[in-house]
Amino acid sequence: MKIRLPLLLLVAALLLTVVVAVLSGRWYLSQPIKNEATTPLLLDFRKGATARSVTQRITEYFGTGHQALIYRLSQVFSEIDHLQAGLYEIEGQKNWFDVWNALSRGDEKTFSVTLVEGLTYQQWLAQLKQQPYLVVKADEMSETSLMKTLGVEAPSLEGVLLPETYSYRAHTTDLEILQQAHISMMEVLEQTWEERSSRCPVNSPYELLILASIIEKETGIAGERALVASVFANRLSVGMRLQSDPTTIYGIDNFDGNLTRTHLREKTAYNTYRIDGLPPTPIAMPGKAAIEAAANPARSPYYYFVADKSGGHVFSKTLEEHQQAVRRYQLNQE
């Protein structure tokens, strides 16, 4: 009995030491990496990198030290053998268990880009070039090559990509976003075409896109879209020219912002003051609301509209009424 008691005490002491060590180690890893508020670290964990390099990068960034201890404790108490490559946002308030769990699950940081309606595809490409951690490829391709890559079956990229907010992960290519935008546009276009009203003045889904792009450029006011669509529908139904400034501007190379009478007299494929019907392609990226307005124009007696002084438009039935509105709102002649 005298021999066993010291042995039991020794075993108990060893067990207590192990328990304390385990609890202490887990407690240490469960503490915030950095208590003070600081800018998160964007950790770009590439294929082939190690957990040791992650530990070193984080401890150096937050200035916490003890990287060898943290690495050894992590080996014992966390899963660090199957980390997924990607870009991760590491916040100082997170603990080491949070870090290793995120890298094990592949919880990468996501970015988003909002491609706005009413812009051209060239303006979209310029915007995509400015996005962080997005691999740019489209800018190096011709429009023809880009259309083939995206599977676009249309005369132009203009108008066939849906304005929307798109999410992406680091090292995604802009081609992936553009392809998603094209697929989304085709889905919206197909559904809207199937649900078009009898007042829809065009003969194909692509013509619907063209008309929608003109509506998109003419007004950004939700309550006006169906009325603007009705003006164009009424004109098309009686063979009147659309006479839309935005279409004319689209056909001018290096437009300087000043639309002149000379521009309006010049016959181009997009000058709807000189051509009958629709231009050959959309003139911008139309949003879903503009497409729906083109497919379902309001019933109205209007054939004319002019911008008023509040950002909206004044609609007129006759040329005489329209000229009066022009004198009042454009020429400031009451």
HSE-up (13 A, CA, CB side) for residue 111: 20
Closest CA to 29 of 102, 103, 100, 105: 100
Structural domains in the chain, CATH included, are 32-105 (3.30.1490), 110-189 (no CATH), 201-329 (no CATH)
pLDDT at 16: 55
β-strand partners of 197: none
Instruction: Judge whether 158 and 282 are in contact, CB under 8 Å.
Output: yes
Q: How many CB atoms lie within 10 A of CB 242?
A: 20
Strand, coil or helix: what is 222? helix
Q: DSSP secondary-structure letter at 198?
A: T
Asked if residues 143 and 149 have their Cβ atoms less than 8 Å apart, the reply is: no
Q: What is the pLDDT of residue 30?
A: 84
Provide the 8-state DSSP code for 298. P
The per-residue pLDDT for 15 is 63
pLDDT for 224? 95
Which distant-in-sequence residues (6+ apart) come within 8 Å of 249 by Cβ? 255, 259, 263
Residues 64, 66, 72, 77, CA torsion sign: negative
Length of the chain, in residues: 334
Which residues does residue 173 pair with via DSSP β-bridges, in sequence order? Answer: 135
pLDDT recorded at residue 240: 97
How confident is the model at residue 330, as a pLDDT? 80
Using CA atoms in the order 29, 108, 129, 152, what is the torsion angle rounded to 10 degrees?
180
Q: pLDDT tens track of the chain, all 334 residues?
A: 455 767 666 666 666 565 555 556 688 888 898 878 789 999 999 988 999 999 999 999 998 888 999 999 998 888 898 999 999 999 998 999 999 999 999 999 999 999 999 999 999 999 999 999 999 999 899 999 999 999 999 999 999 999 999 999 999 999 999 999 999 999 999 999 999 999 999 999 999 999 999 999 999 999 999 999 999 999 999 999 999 999 999 999 889 889 999 999 999 999 999 999 999 999 999 999 999 999 999 999 999 999 988 889 999 999 999 999 999 988 766 5
C-alpha torsion sign, points 174, 180, 184, 186: positive
Q: Which structure tokens are listed for 331?
A: 């020429």
Residue 77, token pair as written in the block = 């108490």
What the block records as the tokens of 94 is: 């997170």
pLDDT of residue 28: 82
Whole-model pTM?
Answer: 0.86
Q: Which residues of 66-90 are buried (b: 16+ CB within 10 A; e: fewer)?
A: ebeebbebbeebbebeebebbbbeb
Residue with tokens 């690495």: 71
pLDDT of 77: 86
